[in-house]
């Protein structure tokens, strides 16, 4: 922060909890294995190939998580709670838990922060919320409004 201020440049610090879920976000029918730029990007990041690679049980808990935890929370500063003693219990469940951050939600938040005025020179935590849909434009505006 000090160096950015001295140089007159903006910074954004997006703090994550335990990263869970996440896919690369391309349609498989357009995707060529040797060329990741060939596919169309899917806004909800749900990709069959990613879940095939990460499947270790009868079910793919990452897919369940990514379907059920599409919501995002933003809190100003370094105030997000950690998982504490529940970390091991929450490792493979598909609910929003304190101390968790969705890889997809964090990526989307970081990209969106580039176009939000009050995200410049900001330090915020990114958490999760139970939701079957990603935040709407209005919800993103409200989430980043909390940084003012």
- For residues 127 and 99, give the distance between their C-alpha atoms in angstroms, rounded to a whole number: 7
| Percent with pLDDT over 70 in the chain | 83
Give the model's pLDDT for residue 79.
Answer: 83
Residue 40 to residues 51, 56, 98, 134, Cα–Cα distance (Å): 18, 27, 33, 18
SS3 71: strand
- Mean residue pLDDT of the chain comes to 80
Reported as a single tens digit per residue, the pLDDT across 97-147 is 888 998 889 988 998 998 888 888 889 999 999 988 888 889 999 999 888
Output 54 or 132, whichever has higher pLDDT: 132
Looking at residue 45, its pLDDT comes to: 65
Instruction: Please give the model's pTM, rounded to 2 decimal places.
Output: 0.77
Structure confidence at residue 3 (pLDDT): 94
pLDDT tens-place string over residues 64-100:
888 788 899 999 988 877 777 777 777 777 888 888 9
The pLDDT score that the predictor gives to residue 127 is 93
Q: Report the pLDDT value the prediction gives residue 56, as an integer from 0 to 100.
A: 77
């Amino acid at each position: 922060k000090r160096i950015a201020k001295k140089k007159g440049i903006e910074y954004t610090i997006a703090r994550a909890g335990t990263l869970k879920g996440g896919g690369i976000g391309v349609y498989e029918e357009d995707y060529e294995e040797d060329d990741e730029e060939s596919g169309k990007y899917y806004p909800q990041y749900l990709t069959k190939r990613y879940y095939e690679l990460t499947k270790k049980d009868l079910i793919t808990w990452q897919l369940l998580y990514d379907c059920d935890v599409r919501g995002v929370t933003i809190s100003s500063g370094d105030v997000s709670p950690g998982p504490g003693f529940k970390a091991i219990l929450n490792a493979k469940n598909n609910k929003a838990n304190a101390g968790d951050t969705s890889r997809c939600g964090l990526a989307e938040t970081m990209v969106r922060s580039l176009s939000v005025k009050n995200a410049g020179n900001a330090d915020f935590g990114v958490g999760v919320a139970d939701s079957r849909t990603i935040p709407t434009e209005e919800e993103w505006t409200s989430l980043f409004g909390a940084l003012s």
